[in-house]
A and B are shown apart, each in its own frame.
Chain A
Amino acid sequence: MSDIVDRIADAVPDILVDASLCKKCGICVAVCPEDVYVERADGLPVVAQGELCIWCERCEIYCPDYAIRLVGRRGW
């Protein structure tokens, strides 16, 4: 069973930041427990270490501008 789950599930999501919605408030960078994001010089969050993502969805939920999407198939 776990083999099947492993095969159909993604280990980490694709993290998409929509620059047309982002207002560069820095909330995603601050609430991420795993240092996935770094803030670019202009304030835009950039996914630096996407493989560290634990899929907690904090950045997605707390983004006040709906700019972040975690896309992928979860194993749970």
Chain B
Amino acid sequence: MMLSTGALLDTQYRRGRLPHIWCPGCAHGIVTRALAQALHQAADRDRTVLVSGIGCSSRATGYLDYFTVHTTHGRALPVATGLKLARPELTVVVVSGDGDTGAIGGNHLIHAARRNIDVTLLCYVNGTYGMTGGQAAPTTSPGEVTTTSPGGHHERPLDLCALAQVAGATYVARATAWHFDLLVRLIAAALAKKGFAFVEALSPCPVYSGRLNGRESPAQMLLALRDRLPGDPVAPGVLPLGELWNADAPEYTATYRQASGRRQTP
């Protein structure tokens, strides 16, 4: 059942920490709401740990009333890996941004996916480094003006979902802040998946990428996501939405325990 705002704030949030630090109109609040809703549906609070790195999105762990760890930049996945390996019965969720996951922690993403460890990674993608002043990120679209590319970004963007899939993740999905119900369903499915699950949530940044590119209003940026439907054939350069990959593979903590059991048996 969808939680009302009142129930959400009472049961899922650290109410005293609000209002949050995100800028006016930042869609991170909506994505965090989707995460809280999915956790309410699919996770046991006493058996769930949220791990985050550094960045705007990683502040989310500070507002959610769960066991949380706020780690260093890009290193949320290593902490989550250690946690899951030591306590395989826990549901471990990593909350991270595109800079955290795709650039500084890019290597950790590849290897967490390769190992197929049972961790859910929710990546907020806004295509910029909002917390440090709007620098270009690996996911910035070509042509976008950022504070480090005033003449327009000229690099090709990284498709994090494709990267996670080829690296070996067993569940890969993408939604946007506008597609709230879809995002909740995808996160809940990712939480239920036994294996590395990667969910990307497109979350427009109205202050840095918006203002610098003439998209003044947060509502406009949110509504611009509306016409994209999951499963639609997409034009080159446009990212598809919905469940993109769902496969089965041996899970890391299970195979690790089997292997270590074999080693210890005389």
Known A30-B220, A31-B222; judge A25-B206 contact (CB<8 A): yes
Q: Which residues of B contact A65 (CB under 8 A)?
A: 18-20, 29
Complex interface residues of chain B between 135 and 189 (CB less than 8 A to chain A): 177-178, 180
Contact of B4 among A24, A26, A30, A60 (CB under 8 A): A60
Give the Cβ gap from A33 to chain B, nearest Cβ, in Å.
12
Contact check, B180 vs A62: say whether CB atoms are below 8 A apart: yes
Contact check, B29 vs A69: say whether CB atoms are below 8 A apart: no
Give the Cβ gap from A2 to chain B, nearest Cβ, in Å.
23
Q: Which residues of B contact A26 (CB under 8 A)?
A: 25, 217-219
Known A26-B218, A31-B222; judge A64-B22 contact (CB<8 A): yes
Contact of B219 among A30, A60, A66, A69 (CB under 8 A): A30
Contact of B29 among A29, A30, A64, A70 (CB under 8 A): A64
Give the Cβ gap from A50 to chain B, nearest Cβ, in Å.
17
Give the Cβ gap from A16 to chain B, nearest Cβ, in Å.
9
Q: Which residues of B contact A23 (CB under 8 A)?
A: 19, 23-25
Contact check, A61 vs B30: say whether CB atoms are below 8 A apart: yes
> Which B-chain residue is minimally distant from A13 (CB atoms)?
B4
Contact check, A61 vs B33: say whether CB atoms are below 8 A apart: yes
B69 within 8 A of partner (CB): no
Contact of A25 among B6, B13, B177, B218 (CB under 8 A): B218
Contact check, B217 vs A62: say whether CB atoms are below 8 A apart: no
Contact of A27 among B2, B22, B28, B219 (CB under 8 A): B219
A63 within 8 A of partner (CB): yes
Give the Cβ gap from A24 to chain B, nearest Cβ, in Å.
6
> Which A-chain residue is minimally distant from B63 (CB atoms)?
A66
Q: State A70–B2 Cα separation when bound (angstroms).
A: 13
Contact check, B5 vs A27: say whether CB atoms are below 8 A apart: no
Complex interface residues of chain B between 6 and 30 (CB less than 8 A to chain A): 6, 8-9, 13, 18-20, 22-30
> Which B-chain residue is minimally distant from A64 (CB atoms)?
B29
Contact check, A20 vs B19: say whether CB atoms are below 8 A apart: yes
B223 within 8 A of partner (CB): yes
Known A25-B24, A63-B29; judge A31-B223 contact (CB<8 A): yes
A-B contact pairs, 19 of them (CB 8 A): A23-B23, A23-B24, A25-B25, A25-B218, A57-B2, A60-B5, A62-B30, A62-B178, A63-B5, A64-B28, A64-B30, A65-B20, A65-B29, A66-B9, A66-B13, A69-B5, A69-B6, A70-B4, A70-B5
Q: Given A30-B220, A31-B219, A65-B20, 14 other A-B contacts at CB below 8 A?
A: A21-B19, A23-B19, A23-B24, A23-B25, A24-B24, A26-B219, A27-B25, A30-B219, A30-B223, A64-B29, A66-B9, A66-B13, A69-B4, A69-B6
Instruction: Please list the residues of chain A having a beta carbon within 8 angstroms of any beta carbon in chain B.
Output: 20-21, 23-27, 29-31, 57, 60-66, 68-71
